[in-house]
């Protein structure tokens, strides 16, 4: 851990009524004598008239909070100053702090890193905190709060302890001769490992929900040119995000808008109309549309009721479990327009007819697939990789024909599975990982 007493503005940038300056480290308490003010009692606010130690001029009439170690965010001595939010006030206080012996500006994520290093939180909780700071929607907030409270860390730690127990059980066999071994030991260890592997695999399968909640659920609007995809995107986004035109092939690139559906972040994309074309820019647009279709968590496939038939075969092919068929242009529907597949919703992107029903449907679909599960979900690719490595080690263990004949090899596989789990929470040596994780934090966190 890098030494020194660190300080930074912990509140946001831009003009605000109040700014919070956080100070952490051995010398934190020295600011009270340096500014010639009284240190308030622990965890109680005290009013402090901060004067520049160098010039004696008044910097601000502020509030101070004193959190002596270990009962603080970082586990170290911490002082938090609530100063007025003006730039000159903040700059004056920061400059005065930087002149104090042993003080320096904090690096990005350094406060949280110290909290981790002082065992105030594990890595998953630290990542939860970063997600909480970034959360835009209620479901993102709930997931981050749960992770910060340790739900994910507890789950992984529980698995790791179960594995450690199985390993310990197995290791006793190394010192025994075969005849002295308790009967059923091999079967017992095997069934424990198998149960655990299955639990991890299920978690991995459901995994992308948590990641999606962090990053946004991808919904793509697809259909033939002129079906009204761009019009629908604009309707749903309630702004003119995409160009609407009667000229087929207008949308060539993928246009994305962000929506908040029942607290779940949704990235809605408008795509080029899918058709056979010789225009090479449009061909690329169609290729991108098909990629979006493949990557989307959910597809809105649009048919055009002003045409007969309203759907082409290429568009019909897009209908699968993750798609809903929405029929557009109900206002100019041609009589007798035969449709092989019954649409789930009929709308008019022009008049707004049916849009509420489509919104409700979309909300239900997104909720059904992505709402918080009972068990906390996987939220990061970092966790996913570690869990996959853990499963691989467990599978290598399971492939050993007789663990009693090869106990060292069996134990080695279990230990490496344990280490993979330990990497997620930071319970093993992870120095190299820390820089990567904390780099993503903002200054003051």
Ligand X SMILES: Nc1nc2c(ncn2[C@@H]2O[C@H](COP(=O)(O)OP(=O)(O)O)[C@@H](O)[C@H]2O)c(=O)[nH]1
Gyration radius from the chain CA atoms: 29
Pick the piece of the chain touching ligand X (CB under 6 A) from 102-110, 240-248, 335-343, 405-413: 240-248
Instruction: Kindly report the backbone phi and psi dihedral angles of residue 248, in degrees, each rounded to the nearest multiple of 5, phi listed first.
Output: -65, 140
- Of 229 and 365, nearer to ligand X (C-beta) is 229
- Of 119 and 245, nearer to ligand X (C-beta) is 245
Alpha carbon 305 to its chain centroid, in Å, reads 40
| Span 30-59, contacts to ligand X by CB under 6 A | none
| Span 194-233, contacts to ligand X by CB under 6 A | 223, 225-231
Q: How far is the CB of 305 from ligand X (least distance, A)?
A: 8
348 binds, among ligand X, Mg ion, none (CB under 5 to 8 A by kind): ligand X
Alpha helices in 99-182 (DSSP H): 110-117, 123-134, 138-148, 151-174
Q: Is 244 one of the binding residues for ligand X (CB under 6 A)?
A: yes
Q: Is 168 one of the binding residues for ligand X (CB under 6 A)?
A: no
| Distance, CA of 128 to CA of 119 (rounded, Å) | 15
Beta pairing, strands 298-304 & 217-223? parallel
* List 316, 350, 355, 400, residue binding ligand X (CB under 6 A): 350
Q: How far is the CB of 312 from Mg ion (least distance, A)?
A: 16
* List 250, 339, 371, 416, residue binding ligand X (CB under 6 A): 250
Q: How far is the CB of 240 from ligand X (least distance, A)?
A: 11
| Distance, CA of 261 to CA of 238 (rounded, Å) | 13
| Distance, CA of 413 to CA of 404 (rounded, Å) | 14
Beta pairing, strands 345-346 & 323-328? parallel
| Distance, CA of 255 to CA of 242 (rounded, Å) | 7
Q: Is 230 one of the binding residues for Mg ion (CB under 5 A)?
A: yes
Q: Is 239 one of the binding residues for ligand X (CB under 6 A)?
A: no
| Span 76-105, contacts to Mg ion by CB under 5 A | none
Q: How far is the CB of 283 from ligand X (least distance, A)?
A: 16
Q: Is 332 one of the binding residues for ligand X (CB under 6 A)?
A: yes
292 binds, among Mg ion, ligand X, none (CB under 5 to 8 A by kind): none
Which helix (H) or strand (E) segment is 314 a member of? Answer: helix 313-316
Q: Is 251 one of the binding residues for Mg ion (CB under 5 A)?
A: yes
- Of 143 and 231, nearer to ligand X (C-beta) is 231
Q: Is 310 one of the binding residues for ligand X (CB under 6 A)?
A: no
* List 328, 333, 379, 420, residue binding ligand X (CB under 6 A): 328
Peptide bond into 70 cis (omega under 30): yes
SS3 category, 270:
strand
- Of 274 and 386, nearer to Mg ion (C-beta) is 274
Using the Cα atoms of residue 231, residue 234, residue 235 and residue 240 in order, give the sign of their dihedral: negative
Q: Is 231 one of the binding residues for Mg ion (CB under 5 A)?
A: no
350 binds, among Mg ion, ligand X, none (CB under 5 to 8 A by kind): ligand X
Number of residues that make up the chain:
445
Q: Is 299 one of the binding residues for ligand X (CB under 6 A)?
A: no
Pick the piece of the chain touching Mg ion (CB under 5 A) from 137-145, 246-254, 340-348, 350-358: 246-254
Four-CA torsion 55, 58, 64, 66, nearest 10 degrees: 20
Peptide bond into 309 cis (omega under 30): yes
Instruction: Kindly report the backbone phi and psi dihedral angles of residue 244, in degrees, each rounded to the nearest multiple of 5, phi listed first.
Output: -105, 130
Q: Is 329 one of the binding residues for ligand X (CB under 6 A)?
A: yes
Q: How far is the CB of 347 from ligand X (least distance, A)?
A: 7
- Of 222 and 362, nearer to ligand X (C-beta) is 222
| Distance, CA of 81 to CA of 61 (rounded, Å) | 10
| Distance, CA of 333 to CA of 329 (rounded, Å) | 6
Q: How far is the CB of 337 from Mg ion (least distance, A)?
A: 21
Q: Quick check: 106 and 443 in contact, CB under 8 A?
A: yes
Other CB atoms within 10 Å distance of the CB of residue 360: 12
| Distance, CA of 385 to CA of 239 (rounded, Å) | 39
Pick the piece of the chain touching ligand X (CB under 6 A) from 41-49, 167-175, 343-351, 418-426: 343-351
- Of 115 and 236, nearer to Mg ion (C-beta) is 236
* List 245, 284, 291, 439, residue binding ligand X (CB under 6 A): 245
Q: Is 422 one of the binding residues for ligand X (CB under 6 A)?
A: no
Using the Cα atoms of residue 337, residue 340, residue 342 and residue 348 in order, give the sign of their dihedral: negative
Q: Quick check: 67 and 73 in contact, CB under 8 A?
A: yes
- Of 254 and 442, nearer to Mg ion (C-beta) is 254
> How many residues belong to the site for Mg ion (CB under 5 A)?
3
Residues in contact with Mg ion by CB under 5 A are: 229-230, 251
Instruction: List residues binding ligand X (CB under 6 A).
Output: 223, 225-231, 244-246, 250-251, 273, 328-329, 331-332, 348-350
């Amino acid at each position: 851990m890098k030494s020194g007493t660190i300080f930074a503005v912990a509140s946001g940038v831009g003009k605000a009524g109040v700014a919070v300056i956080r100070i952490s480290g051995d010398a934190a308490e020295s600011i009270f004598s340096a500014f010639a003010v009284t240190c308030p009692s622990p965890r109680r606010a005290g009013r402090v008239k901060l004067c520049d130690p160098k010039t004696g001029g008044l910097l601000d009439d502020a509030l101070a909070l004193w959190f002596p170690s270990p009962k603080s965010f970082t586990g170290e001595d911490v002082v938090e100053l609530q100063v007025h939010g003006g730039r000159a006030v903040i700059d004056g206080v920061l400059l005065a702090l930087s002149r104090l012996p042993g003080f320096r500006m904090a690096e990005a994520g350094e406060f949280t890193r110290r909290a981790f290093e002082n065992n105030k939180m594990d890595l998953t909780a630290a990542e939860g905190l970063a997600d909480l700071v970034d959360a835009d929607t209620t479901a993102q907030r709930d997931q981050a709060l749960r992770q910060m409270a340790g739900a994910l860390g507890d789950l992984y730690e529980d698995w790791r302890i179960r594995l450690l127990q199985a390993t310990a059980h197995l290791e006793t066999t190394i010192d025994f001769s075969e005849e002295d071994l308790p009967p059923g030991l091999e079967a017992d260890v095997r069934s424990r490992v198998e149960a655990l592997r299955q639990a991890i695999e299920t978690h991995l399968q459901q995994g992308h929900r948590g990641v999606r909640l962090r990053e946004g659920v991808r919904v793509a609007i697809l259909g033939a040119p002129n079906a009204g995809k761009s019009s629908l995107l604009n309707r749903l986004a309630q702004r003119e995000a995409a160009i609407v035109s009667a000229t087929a092939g207008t949308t060539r690139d993928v246009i994305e808008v962000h929506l908040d559906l029942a607290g779940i972040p949704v990235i809605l994309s408008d795509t080029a109309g899918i058709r056979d074309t010789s225009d090479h820019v449009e061909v690329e647009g169609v290729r991108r549309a098909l990629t979006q279709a493949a990557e989307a968590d959910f597809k809105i496939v649009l048919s055009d009721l002003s045409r007969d038939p309203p759907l082409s075969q290429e568009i019909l092919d897009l209908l699968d479990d993750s798609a809903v068929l929405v029929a557009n242009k109900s206002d100019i529907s041609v009589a007798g327009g035969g449709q092989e597949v019954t649409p789930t919703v009929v709308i008019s992107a022009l008049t707004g007819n049916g849009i509420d029903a489509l919104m409700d449907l979309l909300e239900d679909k997104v909720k059904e697939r992505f709402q918080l599960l009972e068990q906390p979900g996987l939220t990061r690719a970092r966790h996913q990789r570690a869990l996959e490595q853990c499963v691989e080690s467990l599978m290598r263990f399971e492939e050993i024909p007789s663990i009693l004949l090869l106990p060292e090899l069996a134990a080695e596989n279990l230990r490496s599975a344990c280490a993979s789990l330990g990497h997620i929470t930071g319970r093993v040596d992870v120095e190299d990982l820390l820089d990567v994780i904390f780099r993503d934090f903002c200054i003051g966190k």
